[in-house]
């Protein structure tokens, strides 16, 4: 007897799972925050806005104090500091001090900050001028004892020197010491000039150019003594040289023609 086929029906198999096709696209996770977390985020955003928008966090000219500097140099120092309009939290005291110290007139600086309202105090120590140098081209310079050149901001009773500035910056300190040494033994020798070859030169009342060179107080005292003795002897003999060189007191020299200078 042939076997009969039986076909399964849905009723016999029971409920079957339904296959559904997923929709393509991004699925954003649902973010659920507690009340406390939401308040924390809101407070943080308000803090950021306060730090950003409140003008008291930014340095103004009224809250930038420059102490110890010549009043005529305060604006230059404030500009070099780069502080005006800057947020106090972005101020690097070391970088500020480095920028200000780059000014030739400034010897040292200390930076003190205040967070709120933003304030900054700059304690400046300036170099002290010991010599006024006129370069013959309209330039006037102050020199400190270490030979640093910087622009004058007022008039002071300083020894004056005229002539071209030396190429070697290291040599200026020796020139300054020589000027003070010469003036200490002969205060009447005003209006000194500097010559790269002959050093310090003084034009006396008679129009003679006297080369004193460079040296300490003892050396200058000896040269002044030789100069005075030589001029007295030349005047007795009726000799009037235009140039006298006493850089080497043991062998002074003179010339009748200034073109040999």
- Name the nearest CA neighbour of 146 among 127, 132, 133: 127
CATH of 129-260, one of 3.30.530, 3.30.1380, 1.10.3470, 3.40.50: 3.40.50
What pLDDT does residue 135 have? 86
Contact (CB, 8 A) for 81 and 100 = yes
What pLDDT does residue 252 have? 94
What pLDDT does residue 29 have? 61
What pLDDT does residue 165 have? 83
- First and final CA of the chain: distance in angstroms? 148
What's the rounded Cα separation, in Å, for the pair 136 and 236? Answer: 36
Contact (CB, 8 A) for 203 and 218 = no
The residue behind tokens 């480095």 is 98
What pLDDT does residue 229 have? 96
The pTM of the full predicted model, rounded to 2 decimals, is: 0.70
Instruction: Report the CATH architecture of 56-126.
Output: Roll (3.10)
Helix or strand holding residue 64 (H, E): strand 64-67
Residues forming a β-bridge with 108: 125
The C-alpha angle with vertex 230 and arms to 224 and 234, in degrees rounded to 5, equals: 145
What pLDDT does residue 164 have? 86
- Name the nearest CA neighbour of 179 among 169, 168, 190: 190
Helix or strand holding residue 41 (H, E): helix 35-53
What pLDDT does residue 35 have? 75
Q: What strands, in cross-sheet order, belong to the sheet with 106-114?
A: 64-67, 119-126, 106-114
Contact (CB, 8 A) for 182 and 99 = no
Average pLDDT per block of 10 residues along the chain, 261 residues long: 54 53 57 71 71 74 90 92 86 92 94 89 94 87 89 90 78 87 90 91 91 96 96 94 95 83 61
What pLDDT does residue 21 have? 57
Token representation of residue 201: 């030169």
The C-alpha angle with vertex 187 and arms to 217 and 142, in degrees rounded to 5, equals: 85
What pLDDT does residue 44 have? 72
What pLDDT does residue 45 have? 76
Alpha carbon of 238 to those of 28, 211, 231, 232, 233: distances in Å? 111, 21, 10, 10, 9
| Domain residue spans of the chain | 56-126, 129-260
Cβ neighbours of residue 25 under 8 Å, at least 6 residues apart?
Answer: none
What pLDDT does residue 161 have? 92
């Amino acid at each position: 007897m042939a076997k009969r086929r039986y076909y399964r029906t849905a009723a016999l198999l029971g409920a079957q799972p339904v296959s559904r096709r997923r929709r393509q696209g991004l699925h954003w996770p649902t973010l659920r925050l507690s009340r406390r977390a939401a308040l924390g985020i809101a407070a943080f955003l308000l803090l950021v806005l306060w730090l950003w928008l409140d003008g008291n966090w930014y340095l103004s000219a009224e809250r930038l104090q420059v102490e110890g500097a010549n009043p005529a140099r305060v604006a230059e120092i404030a500009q070099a500091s780069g502080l005006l309009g800057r947020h106090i939290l972005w101020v690097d005291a070391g970088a500020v001090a480095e920028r200000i110290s780059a000014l030739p007139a400034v010897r040292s600086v200390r930076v003190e900050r205040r967070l709120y309202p933003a304030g900054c105090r700059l304690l400046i120590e300036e170099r002290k001028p010991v010599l006024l140098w006129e370069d013959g081209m309209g330039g006037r310079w102050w020199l400190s004892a270490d030979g640093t050149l910087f622009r004058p901001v007022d008039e002071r009773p300083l020894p004056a020197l005229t002539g071209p500035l030396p190429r070697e910056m290291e040599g200026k300190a020796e020139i300054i010491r020589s000027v003070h040494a010469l003036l200490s033994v002969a205060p009447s020798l005003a209006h000194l000039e500097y010559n790269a070859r002959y050093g310090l030169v003084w034009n006396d009342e008679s129009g003679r150019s006297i080369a004193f060179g460079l040296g300490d107080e003892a050396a200058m005292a000896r040269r002044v003594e030789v100069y005075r003795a030589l001029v007295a002897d030349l005047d007795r003999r009726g000799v009037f040289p235009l140039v006298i060189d006493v850089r080497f007191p043991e062998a002074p020299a003179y010339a009748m023609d200034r073109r040999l200078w």
